Structure formats: C-alpha cells, structure tokens
Amino acid sequence: MVNYEAGRSASDLETVTGSVDGLGEAWPNPLRLGQDVRFVLVAIGGGAIRVAGQVASQHIRHLETVAINCDPSVQGHSEFDRRIYLGPDSGAEIDTGGSPVVGGVLARAAEPALERVFRGATFVILVGSLGGGAGSGAFPHVLDVACRNAEVVSAFVIKPFRCEGDRRALADRAIGRLQLVNSYVERHERGQARLTVLDNETLVHSTVSLTFAGVPRHWAKLLTDHIESSFVTPVESMIEAIQFTRAAEMVAHATAPEIPALEVVPPPPESPAELPPILPAAEAELTFEVDAEAQPPPAP
C-alpha cells in the first residue's frame, strides 16, 4: 500500500480521526450512533465492490454500505444497504468501453442521488477501483459530492497490477485528477480528508503469498481494521467520554431541594396563679382509749 500524498510506503492505514477533535461539542445529547453520527462506506467500480462487499459481510456496527457502478448488475449485490446504478432508469446496460469520460457523464447525471447518500454523513470511507470507466470516471465526482457533504472523508483507490498495462496508466492519470477536486483539496487542507492508494503491484513483492482471488480479501481485511480502529471504536469512546462528562456536570450543578427547617415552639410558661395552692401539712393527733373493765378472753 502506498500513501500517494505522502509519497512513501506504509504498512498501516493512516487515520483521520484526529481531525475531528471538538466535533463532540456540537453534537446533541444524547448522541445516537448511526443517526447523529453516521459511518458510510461507498464502493465505486466492480473491483471496489468486490472488496467492499467483503467488508459489508462483516456487519461492522453502525456502518452503512453503498455500491455504485455503471453496470445494472450492481442491483444484485444484496450485501450492500443501497445500490446505485449510474445509467438510464430503464435499466438498460450502458457499455462505458472503459472510458472515464462516459463514467464521468453518468456520475454527473446521478448527482442528486449521490447528494442523498452523503447528506448528513459524518465519516465517509470511499473505495474506488481505477483503470475502468466507472472507477476512473465516476470516482472524482463521487469524491467531490462526499467532500461537500460529509465531515471527514477517507478515500482509497485500488491501482491495477503492472501487467495490466493500459489500465494501470489510466489509473495513474485518474489519481492525478483527484488532486484537482476543489472540495477535496479544501477538506484535505483542514485535515478532514485523505487519499490512500492501494497498489496491487506491491502485493507481488509481498512476503504473504496471495492468489488472484485473495487480493480483494487482503484489501478488505485492511479496510475492515481501518474502519474499526480509526473510526468506529474511537468515536464510540469519544461519545462515551462526552456523555460521562455531561452527566458529571449535571450532577455537579444539581441542587438538592430545600427542606424547610422545623420551628420548635416551646410551650408558654405556666402562670403561678393557675398552680394549686400548697397547703401546710396538718398536725394529726391520735388518741387511744383503753377499757379497764374489759377482760381478756378465757383460755381454751
């Protein structure tokens, strides 16, 4: 994998979560993942759809998935939440002939539908397969709409093998055009957008032995780890911290209801006039009279 902007190789995908510091202050309370904070994965082109389809099958929490192609067969990819066919409403197949011009025309015509996909999105992960009409032609327009609507955009383009000749050369020209998308340039300068090239040719010299069918699985694993570690998990932790802080502030500023103090009223002192009079103790005189003539009773 090559980070095109940095011009260097990288073993891990670079994150852009640091560019959203402070977003939590503007989010409502309570925060709802999937509603107030939305994660959207969008694949453009057949090769990208094969990669993103394996990511979608992992059912990453809160992640919305969208597939976009110039081929009407895109409607059959049920693993995606939404599928957009860049073609006539009749469903008739349009052969782009590998022309990015045709793919670009179809993408511009479908811009209202693309606006609905990205409107209100917080984090967008774009995956495009370059070298064909859909990826090379439509991807710049999708990137433009995403950068105009989402808060953070992490874009990935898959570059063909060297043996694919013309397709690889077409991919190189498409990558150069991406640097001229104004909305992307503005987001990138604010640290809220980044472009990473996933070069298939680097896998040829990799120590990991991969079959041709294993290439999509390789990139899908890389993207799954990126989405989890760079977006979903950090945002979950951020929201948990925000909610904890807000709850602590509510407790700190909460006042207990005032309980009125009980007024103890002592009884009025009793008036001396109401007390019973204290009588002097009477002197009693006891007298006993003895009858002298009385005889004791005879003994039995």
CATH number of the domain residue 164 falls in: 3.40.50.1440
- If one compares 300 and 141, the residue with the highest pLDDT of the two is 141
- 6 found inside a domain: no
**In this predicted structure, what is the pLDDT of residue 236?**
87
Range 146-168 average pLDDT: 93
- Give the domain range for residue 149: 28-247
Residue 10 has pLDDT above 50, yes or no: no
**Average pLDDT of the residues in 148-177:** 92
Q: Is residue 285 part of a domain?
A: no
Name the band, by pLDDT with cuts 50, 70 and 90, for residue 87.
confident
17 part of a folded domain: no
Residue 166 has pLDDT above 60, yes or no: yes
Tell me whether residue 36 is in a domain: yes
Of 52-56, 62-66, 86-90, 210-214, the one with minimum mean pLDDT is: 86-90
- pLDDT score, position 25: 52
**In terms of Cα–Cα distance, which of 59, 39, 44, 188 is closest to 121?**
39
**What are the b/e assignments for 32-51, b being 16+ CB within 10 Å?**
eeeeebbbbbbbbbbbbbbb
Mean of the per-residue pLDDT values for the chain? 79
Asked if residue 218 is part of any domain, the answer here is yes
> Is the confidence at residue 59, as pLDDT, over 80?
yes
Residue 286 is assigned to a structural domain of this protein = no
The string of pLDDT tens digits covering residues 12-57 is 334 444 444 545 455 555 677 777 889 999 999 999 999 999 999 9
pTM of the model as a whole: 0.72
Q: Which residue has the tokens 């107030």?
A: 36
Overall number of domains in the chain: 1
Q: Is the pLDDT of residue 198 over 90?
A: yes
Least Cα distance to 69 among 84, 79, 50, 51 occurs for 84
- For residues 190 and 24, which has the higher predicted lDDT (pLDDT)? 190
**What is the pLDDT confidence band of residue 5, given thresholds at 50, 70 and 90?**
very low
Q: Lowest mean pLDDT: which of 1-10, 15-24, 125-134, 216-225?
A: 1-10
Residue 55 lies in a domain: yes
- Closest to 230 in 3D by CA, of 284, 154, 168: 154
Q: Establish if 226 belongs to a structural domain.
A: yes
